[in-house]
Structure 1
Amino acid sequence: MKRRIVFPALLVLFSLCLSAQKATWIWYPGDFEISLANKMQNRRTERGTFFPVFWKMDNHYVLMDFHKVFQLDQPEKVSLFVEGEYNVKLDGKAFEGSPSEITVPAGKHKINIKVFNQAQVPAIFVKGNKVVSDSTWLVTFEDKEWIDETGKTSDISATEWLKAGSWNFNSPQQKPSAFALPVRRQSAVSNQKAKGAMLVDFGKETLGFIELHGLSGKGNLSVYYGESKEEALSTEHCEALDRKAVDFSSKTNYRFPLSKAFRFVNIQYDNGVNLDSVSMLYEYADLKERGGFKCNDAEVNRIYDISKYTFELNTREFFIDGIKRDRWIWSGDAYQSYLMNYYLYFDRPTVERTMLALRGKDPVTGHINTIMDYTFYWFIGIYDYYLYTGDLTFIQQFYPRMQSLMDYCLSRRNKYGLLEGLPGDWLFIDWAAGLSKKGELSFEQLLFCRSLETMALCAGITGDEKGKDEYAKLAADLKEKIFSLYWNPAKNALVHSRIDGKQTDNVTRYSNMFSIFFNYFNESQKQSVKNSVLLNDSIQKITTPYMRFYELEALCAMGEQDYVMKEMKSYWGGMLKLGATSFWEEYNPDKKGEEHYAMYGRQFGKSLCHAWGASPIYLLGRYYLGVQPTSPGYATYSIQPVLGGLQWMEGKVPTASGDISVYCDKKKIRISTVKGVGTLKLKSKIKPAGKNIQVKAVSKETYEISLNPDSTYEISYQAL
């Protein structure tokens, strides 16, 4: 392979140019994310009424100290842009006033900028040649410095400095406080007019701002939004509406201030009001699709495409639950979105923003979203984030917030060392009729155990060896308790709960399927659980895409891709047959007509576009294309393609260093690799063959092939 040679003089010039391009707005890590979440989550309305969240909301620190040391070969002028009141110091000496430009002499110098802003997140943008603001600056919300009676500033401090937070605000004009998602205009596909009314269909589920064109006259106008036609026409029961008192002497265009989710809008207005037409501004997160999947089955392709669109709609400033009703950041919903993201966008900033917004700040006064299991999904999300991205910074910066949240969980254990619902705790698990939440639930203990394992991993990363040992021991002890207290050999499964120190008879799918892909079961237990629980119709069925995600993952992890493909086509395909243009919060094929729209005791309470409905993105990438990291950041990874009843499939899986491409049919496999060392695992009736490969026979008809970085392979084999 040819190596590119860069001469030293050119390298210096290139470095200076590159440095000059790196300036970005910076802030205290987590503060912009928390502030943005506050703005977004408090936009929720229910039939025009403000509807705030149920949990504690935090805010940004109002006083911030930024600093960095620079070594300059020559003096340079530096421009300063600041959100807030500020002062600037060079080597400890303050400039007069609040200058917008300073000159930094040649040599080694320390720049401090201290900013106060009560209304917005304190942030700075510094642009010189080498002196630029970026994530290498250090920040603190309390510098803990003092001046003694002689005027000497303390030279020893307990200040804790973190690396600055940033995103993509790369020009002085892109102020973080002014951030808004981009929009683009979309037209309706049909428009039915009647006297004083207009029913507009945009053709599919969407989200944005309704704009009225040629509005004039005087009177009242109402807009009733619907994910279905029935909802839009139900002026008494639709979930979202807008009203406008019209008083325009000439034709005017008017845009409603809050974005809404809808397919249909029903506009009704008084006789004195005139309206020409309606359009919308589609609001979206500008992320690039990197992953993809395509196969010979048109229905599966359609399921994948609608999954992508569902996920696109629910990927916004953060990963949210659904676009119509809540538009809140729910940790259980977000956790699944992280996994889908790793197979479609591989966008790290949205994952980080979502995790930071969910965690908030100390003190911890309750579980995340008030839900015990949602706290544990937050920890497990960090485990997966490190595995997929290899990024250490998030863990290093926010390990203290992980510790304090885990301390809260540990403090709520009962005399058996287990967790059960206490006053203020919501135990969610899933929407399922009659699902008991009494006693000590095996499902909660499983998530708790995985969270302790995450803490042990993160303690090791941050150098907290004592914490690493303590968390690992707590996890091992809890895992042992789970199997001694909940495993029932007669039922070949973990029971759902214990009450008053005794096992209940109830067996549910949740803890059993999680134990499979957590790899907590031995092989014998996995097979027993597959037959006694997952493939047993007498066990209460799951009707939400939320838990279908995990049920089908557990089956895929046991090699049941043929069965899962049929279930995917039946379940998600069932929604498509009912006209779904995005996937729903809940789907029960036994329901009829408008029953499909009802939930929470409301006629149109169900979300018809819910993030957890997009799980085929993950399932097809992870268990059919078969790509997964086996060490952090895809330093090593495996590819284990399984057709699962398909004739052929192809797709891409994004990683931090590029996209892995896979094509597979019954006789050949083509792969393009990225950095890192891969292992192709496949089952074949014959020994696989191809150029520049070494084939290792693992067992009968099972083979492994090492994959080099940045290489392409074409391998012949014969599928079983």
Structure 2
Amino acid sequence: MKKNLFLLSLLLMNVSVFAQATWIWYPGDYEIWLGNQMQNRRTERTTFMPPFWKLDSHYNLMDFHKEFILSQPEELELFVEGRYNVKLDGKILMGYPKRITVPAGKHKINLKVFNQDHVPAVFVRGKTIQSDASWRVTFEDKEWIDETGKASDQSGTTWLQAGSWNFNDPLVPPSQFKLNTKEENPVTVDKQAKSFLLDFGKETFGFLKLKGLTGKGNVRIYYGESKEEALATETCETTDFLEINQSAKRDSVMELTKAFRYVNVQFDGSVAIDGVSMLYEFLPVTERGGFRCSDEEINKIYDVALYTLHLNTREFFIDGIKRDRWIWSGDASQSYLMNYYSFFDSPSVARTMLALRGKDPVTSHINTIMDYTFYWFISIYDYYQFTGDKAFIQQFYPRMKSLMDYCLTRRNKNGLLEGLSGDWVFIDWAEGLSKKGEVSFEQLLFARSLETMALCAGIVNHTEDASQYAQLAKEVKGKLFQYYWNSEKHALVHSRVDGVSTPHVTRYANMFAVFFDYLNSAQKQEVKQHVLLNNQVPKITTPYMRFYELEALCALGEQPYVTKEMKDYWGGMLKLGATSFWEEYNPDKKGAEHYAMYGREFGKSLCHAWGASPLYLLGKYYLGVKPTAPAYQTYLIEPNLGGLQWIEGKVPTPQGEVEVYCSAKEIKVTGAAGTGTLRFKSKKKPTSKQGEIRSTGAGLYEMTIEKGKSYRVSYSL
């Protein structure tokens, strides 16, 4: 009986007998600190290139606490990053104890930690008491000492659940985190008397290593994503210069990582180098998704897209490995979606969103870009749908609210948003694209962000907020169609200037309105014919917006068209020798013109995260798997061959993979967690021995897919 009461007490006090001890910190602080470290590593030809937006810092004084009940005394080991004191039941223990014994009974332990350079963090390990996300933390406890010398046990501030990641070794604190590395050699070496020209065979990222370096003189290293860039010693984007004076041979590893395929190493004087390799740097992630089909070019596109995403999945999801190597919200929001269909690495998503948000007060849009603020909100909506992580929303709703408050204060007299001083209205890299006035695309993203706020307010039981945000979203959507829908153009027009709607039509707001499901059936068909399939509407040349354009077409059932577009666009890059996908691709360009951007000969990134969108499209709209309730409690499987003879693959969920095979005659599915619905068309009545098939009319059929069970359907496409 006593044992059962003890176990019940542990559960009630949020203690896990078998918990894994881990380093913990104030939620969001480590992500901000680590983001600062990473984003300030960028160089251009050895010149330091920091971000141009505000960077926040961690709180330097932190209080951690945990309440628990012990049936017997327990010894705790304490590991701390920073100067600290320890209190047991409100009374300070002298010195800097590394071990403490806690007597049986109900107790509370506090650790107060100061660290200016790194994030204050603690690791506590005992038989039953372990530091984990159940601990509480605050940066201002407002405590006081009474006349007996006892510290108060009351607090006037909010305690949050501790932040953590995967730092489970007490001797390796969070401040020492490094990505994994492995040594790799070039596939070809052109060695001359005083130079090496190396080809590593594909785009890669890491530290160059000079082997057996000796002598006196200079070493100049020129990196290139292309051979032309590595040979362009005056205009290549990244370089390293070394002064050498050493008699004994030793290996030298460059201090900073670089992106490259080719490396041009030149040296003078008596310098000698035995050879060159590199330490490939990477975040270890597991490939959980997969896709194969009857078209080998599409398979190659999938593989290169996956490699592109992997290269840009680092401490955070970054835009590109050559430049900028920063965390851009628009780029990251696409990486999240690709990640859900490949690695399903939720911690990377959460880390990136927290690093982007930073702290209060809000003084500008995220990355200074209005649309990037809205992508941040929308990404939280998606994150909840795919992962079901309510705790994230409960912890960070106040930061969501303060950011939305900032947006609301910047509305004009019409209740809409337009670029103000300090705002960058980006949308896309497109020559001649107007950003003036009230741009329809921004209002559309604003409406979706307000819908996200209404959803999240409901999750944290802020019913008044939820009602207000829902009403604001309804008003913005109403104005979107009142001001911008043009019946003669069969589309949303691009903008309003001085209260007058322009006649100009672009693809952006229209394609988002499709997959946001803001259009009725008739409007969707109008947009498809008069915008998305209309060559008179300015074309999109960046993979960034091709992502959304092709998603809209897939949402409209145009997968055969999208298959051709993928082969033309991404296949076009492959035909030019791409080993990762680019920041921008224009098939009209020739030769080295493909490498130029931003007025620089080699300014374009040839490994850009937003180039990997086929991962998402093939998973969501060909295999056809998507959640219809948070964390795949319910989900839809709606396979579409898209003109291919057969497709097969798997889509990760929080609890296993959904496996799908589809040809013109057969569908095979294995369910994961939750309850799935297989939906498909068939010219004749389909059959299955594993489940009941329901007709929903007009040649459409459905079948319920249960967790862990496999189904085979015979049908006729």
**TM bin (shorter chain):** over 0.9
Q: Which residue of 2 aligns with 1:3?
A: none
Structure 2 residue identity aligned to 1:698: T
Candidates 459, 462, 478, aligned match of 2:476: 478
Superposed CA RMSD in Å reads 1.7
- Structure 1 residues 548-697: aligned runs within 5 Å: 548-697=546-695
Rounded to whole Å, the distance in 2 between the matches of 1:157 and 1:172 is 29
Matched, 1:94 2:95: no
Question: How far 1:709 sits from its partner (Å)?
Answer: 2.0
Candidates 19, 35, 38, aligned match of 1:37: 35
SS in 2 for 1:274: coil
Question: How far 1:162 sits from its partner (Å)?
Answer: 0.3
- Structure 1 residues 431-580: aligned runs within 5 Å: 431-580=429-578
Question: How far 1:271 sits from its partner (Å)?
Answer: 3.3
For each residue in 1:29-81, what CA deviation from the matched residue of structure 2 results, as whole angstroms up to 9, or x when unmatched? 00000000000000000110000101110111001000011111111111000
Rounded to whole Å, the distance in 1 between the matches of 2:169 and 2:67 is 22
For each residue in 1:544-593, what CA deviation from the matched residue of structure 2 results, as whole angstroms up to 9, or x when unmatched? 00000000000000000000000001100000000000000000000000
Question: How far 1:692 sits from its partner (Å)?
Answer: 3.5
Structure 1 residue identity aligned to 2:132: D
SS in 2 for 1:223: strand
Structure 2 residue identity aligned to 1:408: Y
Aligned residues: 711
Q: Contact between 1:20 and 1:128, CA under 8 Å: does it hold in 2? A: no
Q: Contact between 1:221 and 1:245, CA under 8 Å: does it hold in 2? A: yes
Q: Which residue of 2 aligns with 1:337?
A: 335
SS in 1 for 2:702: strand
Rounded to whole Å, the distance in 2 between the matches of 1:494 and 1:611 is 29
SS in 2 for 1:19: coil
Rounded to whole Å, the distance in 2 between the matches of 1:111 and 1:91 is 6
Matched, 1:366 2:360: no
Q: Which residue of 2 aligns with 1:424?
A: 422
Matched, 1:262 2:286: no
For each residue in 1:586-611, what CA deviation from the matched residue of structure 2 results, as whole angstroms up to 9, or x when unmatched? 00000000000000000000000000
Q: Which residue of 2 aligns with 1:59?
A: 57
Q: Which residue of 2 aligns with 1:198?
A: 196
Q: Contact between 1:491 and 1:532, CA under 8 Å: does it hold in 2? A: yes
Question: How far 1:666 sits from its partner (Å)?
Answer: 1.1
Q: Relative to structure 2, which stretch is displaced further, 512-521 or 662-671?
A: 662-671
Rounded to whole Å, the distance in 2 between the matches of 1:19 and 1:245 is 56
Question: How far 1:493 sits from its partner (Å)?
Answer: 0.3
Structure 1 residue identity aligned to 2:274: D
- Structure 1 residues 28-427: aligned runs within 5 Å: 28-148=26-146, 153-154=151-152, 156-427=154-425
Rounded to whole Å, the distance in 1 between the matches of 2:129 and 2:515 is 48
Rounded to whole Å, the distance in 1 between the matches of 2:152 and 2:250 is 63
Q: Contact between 1:24 and 1:168, CA under 8 Å: does it hold in 2? A: yes
Question: How far 1:155 sits from its partner (Å)?
Answer: 5.2
Question: How far 1:472 sits from its partner (Å)?
Answer: 0.3
Rounded to whole Å, the distance in 2 between the matches of 1:107 and 1:393 is 29
Q: Contact between 1:23 and 1:134, CA under 8 Å: does it hold in 2? A: yes
**CA 1:157 to 1:567, structure 2 compared with 1: closer, same or farther past 3 Å?**
same
Structure 2 residue identity aligned to 1:337: S
Q: Contact between 1:90 and 1:111, CA under 8 Å: does it hold in 2? A: yes
Rounded to whole Å, the distance in 2 between the matches of 1:568 and 1:705 is 31
Question: How far 1:96 sits from its partner (Å)?
Answer: 1.2
Question: How far 1:102 sits from its partner (Å)?
Answer: 0.4
For each residue in 1:624-647, what CA deviation from the matched residue of structure 2 results, as whole angstroms up to 9, or x when unmatched? 000000011101000000001111
SS in 2 for 1:451: helix
SS in 2 for 1:373: helix
SS in 2 for 1:304: helix
Question: How far 1:158 sits from its partner (Å)?
Answer: 2.2
Q: Relative to structure 2, which stretch is displaced further, 546-555 or 688-697?
A: 688-697
Q: Relative to structure 2, which stretch is displaced further, 435-444 or 701-710?
A: 701-710
Q: Contact between 1:196 and 1:271, CA under 8 Å: does it hold in 2? A: no
Question: How far 1:656 sits from its partner (Å)?
Answer: 0.4
Rounded to whole Å, the distance in 1 between the matches of 2:456 and 2:497 is 33
SS in 1 for 2:284: coil
SS in 2 for 1:491: coil
For each residue in 1:412-448, what CA deviation from the matched residue of structure 2 results, as whole angstroms up to 9, or x when unmatched? 0001001000010001100001000111100000000
Rounded to whole Å, the distance in 2 between the matches of 1:392 and 1:108 is 29
Q: Contact between 2:360 and 2:399, CA under 8 Å: does it hold in 1? A: yes
For each residue in 1:223-271, what CA deviation from the matched residue of structure 2 results, as whole angstroms up to 9, or x when unmatched? 0000000000000000000000011102211000100000000011113
For each residue in 1:333-371, what CA deviation from the matched residue of structure 2 results, as whole angstroms up to 9, or x when unmatched? 000000000000111100000000000000000000000
| Percent identical residues | 66
5+ unaligned residues in a row in structure 1: which ranges?
Answer: 1-6
Structure 2 residue identity aligned to 1:712: S
Question: How far 1:146 sits from its partner (Å)?
Answer: 2.3
Structure 2 residue identity aligned to 1:402: M
Rounded to whole Å, the distance in 2 between the matches of 1:339 and 1:372 is 20
Rounded to whole Å, the distance in 2 between the matches of 1:383 and 1:162 is 21
Rounded to whole Å, the distance in 2 between the matches of 1:379 and 1:17 is 33
Rounded to whole Å, the distance in 2 between the matches of 1:157 and 1:571 is 59
Rounded to whole Å, the distance in 2 between the matches of 1:692 and 1:617 is 30
Q: Contact between 1:42 and 1:51, CA under 8 Å: does it hold in 2? A: yes
Structure 2 residue identity aligned to 1:245: E
Q: Contact between 2:15 and 2:134, CA under 8 Å: does it hold in 1? A: no
Question: How far 1:214 sits from its partner (Å)?
Answer: 1.4
For each residue in 1:660-682, what CA deviation from the matched residue of structure 2 results, as whole angstroms up to 9, or x when unmatched? 11111111111111121110010
Structure 1 residue identity aligned to 2:354: L
Rounded to whole Å, the distance in 1 between the matches of 2:151 and 2:65 is 16
Question: How far 1:523 sits from its partner (Å)?
Answer: 0.3
Q: Contact between 1:668 and 1:717, CA under 8 Å: does it hold in 2? A: yes
Structure 2 residue identity aligned to 1:704: E
Rounded to whole Å, the distance in 2 between the matches of 1:35 and 1:96 is 30
Question: How far 1:195 sits from its partner (Å)?
Answer: 2.6
SS in 1 for 2:276: strand
Q: Contact between 2:90 and 2:153, CA under 8 Å: does it hold in 1? A: no
Rounded to whole Å, the distance in 2 between the matches of 1:202 and 1:675 is 42
Q: Contact between 2:653 and 2:673, CA under 8 Å: does it hold in 1? A: no
Matched, 1:25 2:23: yes
Question: How far 1:185 sits from its partner (Å)?
Answer: 0.5
SS in 1 for 2:17: helix
For normalisation by structure 1, the TM-score amounts to 0.97
Question: How far 1:20 sits from its partner (Å)?
Answer: 4.9
SS in 1 for 2:101: strand
Rounded to whole Å, the distance in 1 between the matches of 2:78 and 2:171 is 12
Q: Relative to structure 2, which stretch is displaced further, 326-335 or 101-110?
A: 101-110
SS in 1 for 2:164: coil
Candidates 693, 696, 703, aligned match of 1:698: 696
Question: How far 1:273 sits from its partner (Å)?
Answer: 1.1
Structure 2 residue identity aligned to 1:162: L
Rounded to whole Å, the distance in 1 between the matches of 2:230 and 2:694 is 61
SS in 2 for 1:374: helix
Rounded to whole Å, the distance in 2 between the matches of 1:272 and 1:675 is 65
Q: Contact between 2:90 and 2:150, CA under 8 Å: does it hold in 1? A: no
Q: Contact between 2:29 and 2:59, CA under 8 Å: does it hold in 1? A: yes
Rounded to whole Å, the distance in 1 between the matches of 2:68 and 2:245 is 60
For normalisation by structure 2, the TM-score amounts to 0.97
Q: Contact between 2:362 and 2:403, CA under 8 Å: does it hold in 1? A: yes
